[in-house]
Amino acid sequence: MKAIRMSGAGGPEAMRLEVIAVPEPKADEALVRIEAAGVNFIDVYYRTGAYAGTYPMTLGMEGAGRVERVGAGVTGVKPGDRVGSFSFAGSYAEYALAPADKLVPLPEDVSCVQAAAVLLQGMTAHYLTRSTFPLKKGDACLVHAGAGGVGLLLCQMGRRIGARVFATAGSPEKTALARGAGAELAVDYTKEDFVAAIRKHTDGRGVSVVYDSVGKSTFDGSLDCLARRGTMVLFGQSSGAVPPVDPQILNKKGSLYLTRPTLFHYTATREELLERSADVLGAVARKELDVKVFREIPLADAAESHRLLEGRKTTGKLVLVPGRA
């Protein structure tokens, strides 16, 4: 089979298309023929070495396709089932293994491309708005990278709940997309002070929660946007890691809360995984949630997907399609 492999950490050029053996599922595993693979910033972190990995490495965690074979003890899925997951052991490939209990069924009305575009980011937006800081009608929230994959979904979910959604993005085109997804205000941070804009539009009170996937370049400003006893939710670091924080600053800025969550802790049980995935995929099937796919890219051009993602040239999700030339 063909797969995107790396022999060590590096830039996009370190990603190589190679032919390797199709893996065999062990006990409690399933082999899935990948029809679409999602491209995410966590893949970049593994590629660059920011997150430790074992080499040679096949990149990718998110994907969708059909079960090909199952290992001993697997009862929840069978060959032919349409499934998706964000727990694949290398989804940038024609076939990939995943723990069978981390696979979720796909509704008939959701394509593999849609599933690969929404599973990780959609469930991220779901746990952020439903569990980490459960938004209520009337709450004010700030979404950074509001035109990115998670950002667009956060804007939609927040608006559906009835929250006041504010967003930041890096160009007029991107701020327009965030507004279209439900943000009542979208600030172009390259031209405007987003802290001043948020304070102005909340009559000086600030927001109840900031959902920040950017990290280093927005962290301090995010704290300044929060209302008294507001919550800072840092769930990514696309601009770099946040330096060590003196907890006393949370006191000085209004007895703030700070949390650094991850999706894996919000889908730790089979029950929670199925509940969240059913909510998200069901909303896609009912067309209540719009999944924006920025581009479908052949597997051989996977390096270009990372260049686009790191260059902040995307609005929505990048998806690799192994069967496309």
Question: pLDDT tens-digit profile of 216-255?
Answer: 999 999 999 999 999 999 999 888 889 999 999 999 999 9
Q: Is 82 helix (H, G, I), strand (E, B) or coil?
A: strand
44 within domain boundaries: yes
H helix count then E strand count, the chain: 9, 16
* Confidence category of residue 325, pLDDT binned at 50, 70, 90: low
Task: Note whether 250 and 202 are same-domain residues.
Answer: yes
- What pLDDT is recorded for position 136? 97
Phi then psi dihedrals of residue 224, to 5 deg? -75, -15
Q: Which of 233, 260, 287 is the last residue of a domain?
A: 260
Mean pLDDT (whole number) for 76-100: 97
- What pLDDT is recorded for position 313? 81
Residue 88 tokens read as 């694949």
* Confidence category of residue 189, pLDDT binned at 50, 70, 90: very high
Q: Which of 260, 280, 313 is the last residue of a domain?
A: 260
Checking if the pLDDT of 166 tops 90, the result is yes
256 within domain boundaries: yes
Number of domains within the chain: 2
Q: Which of 239, 260, 281 is the last residue of a domain?
A: 260
CATH of the domain at 317: 3.90.180.10
Mean pLDDT (whole number) for 89-99: 98
- What pLDDT is recorded for position 171? 93
Q: What is the pTM assigned to this prediction?
A: 0.91
CATH of the domain at 157: 3.40.50.720
Q: For tokens 């696979």, what's the residue?
A: 103
23 within domain boundaries: yes
**β-pairing verdict for 95-99 and 82-85:** unpaired
Which domain range does residue 239 map to? 136-260
- What pLDDT is recorded for position 294? 92
Mean pLDDT (whole number) for 244-272: 97
Please state, in angstroms and rounded to a whole number, the distance separating the CA atoms of residues 153 and 235. Answer: 14
